[in-house]
Amino acid sequence: MTRNAMPRGTKGDAWSGASIEQIIDRELGRNAELRSGASAYASMLDHFRRTGNGLRFLRSILNLASREYRESGARDAELLTFGDGGAEFLYDLTRTRVVMVWGVSRSVAPNTRDDAYHAGYPTAGANLDKGHAWSHAQGGREGGPNYFRQARRLNQARSANGKLWRAIERHLATNSGLSAFIRLRYDAGNSGDKPDQVEYGILPASGLFRTVIFPNT
């Protein structure tokens, strides 16, 4: 992860007119379904703030995600990392599912999403969407590992959870150069490809790191 330049504007935060940090803090304080995952990253974040070593910060997050994933019941996981040109992925070959997605937001030209491809991809199931982990508007690609089975009320801004998810995506889409990650969390006993929770972590230009763990229900 990198230190970021100040954003060019706050258009993506029009939901409340506040900074993305204030939006996240507000929703964590009033929405009992949400929780912060920030405590798990405290020591590595402190090192990043003191040294500016973004590569070590990223490596520490990857190590934590891998360790906790195995401890959650996937000890035999064969994990690898790869990129698709839009984002990077931590992937479990054993269960053929994504564990984490990360990257740096970038500008995308309007009307460039491949809607025909998206519409032709297999459906996700009842009350589920083909969710983008790394949204197209912030530089993500269609299909493949960037899709996951996402609760419709989380993917669409029709609930408090969905509105916060969308606010984070919009902030990244309107502010290039910001580092973020999405962890797909699977409970013990879940061997499928639908995560039980989804964690969104973001490092805004202020350097005030935030994470939100959403139920994927």
Give the pLDDT confidence of 118-148 residue by residue, as tens digits. 554 557 678 899 899 999 999 998 878 999 9
Q: Which pLDDT score is estimated for 4?
A: 44
Q: Which pLDDT score is estimated for 75?
A: 96
Token readout for 93 is 């070959």
Domain ranges of the chain: 11-215
Mean pLDDT for 152-166 is: 95
Q: Please tell me the distance from the alpha carbon of residue 192 to that of residue 97, in angstroms, as a whole number.
A: 8
Token readout for 151 is 């609760």
Q: Which pLDDT score is estimated for 55?
A: 85
Please say if the pLDDT value at position 53 is more than 60.
Answer: yes
Token readout for 69 is 């994933």
CA atoms within 13 A on the CB side of 122: 5
Across 171-186, b (16+ Cβ under 10 Å) vs e yields: bbbbbbbbbbbbbbbb
What is the number of other CB atoms lying within 10 angstroms of the CB of residue 123?
A: 9
Instruction: Indicate the DSSP class of residue 83.
Output: E
112 pLDDT tier (thresholds 50, 70, 90): low
Please say if the pLDDT value at position 13 is more than 60.
Answer: no
Please say if the pLDDT value at position 149 is more than 70.
Answer: yes
Q: Which pLDDT score is estimated for 194?
A: 96
Token readout for 108 is 């995308």
- Mean pLDDT, the chain, rounded, equals 88
Give first-to-last CA distance, the chain, whole Å. Answer: 30
11 pLDDT tier (thresholds 50, 70, 90): very low
* R_g over Cα of the chain: 16
107 pLDDT tier (thresholds 50, 70, 90): confident
Token pair 């009842």 is found at 126
- CATH number of 11-215, picked from 2.60.120, 1.10.540, 3.30.230, 3.40.570: 3.40.570
165 pLDDT tier (thresholds 50, 70, 90): very high
Three-state secondary-structure class, residue 168: helix
Mean pLDDT for 149-177 is: 95
Mean pLDDT for 176-180 is: 95
Distance of CA 167 to the CA centre of its chain: 12
Please say if the pLDDT value at position 6 is more than 70.
Answer: no
pLDDT (tens digit, 9 = 90+) per residue, 58-81?
999 999 999 999 999 999 999 999
Q: Which residue has the higher pLDDT, 124 or 56?
A: 56
Q: Which helix (H) or strand (E) holds 22?
A: helix 20-30
Token readout for 119 is 């519409």
Please say if the pLDDT value at position 196 is more than 80.
Answer: yes
Q: Which pLDDT score is estimated for 115?
A: 59
Distance of CA 143 to the CA centre of its chain: 16
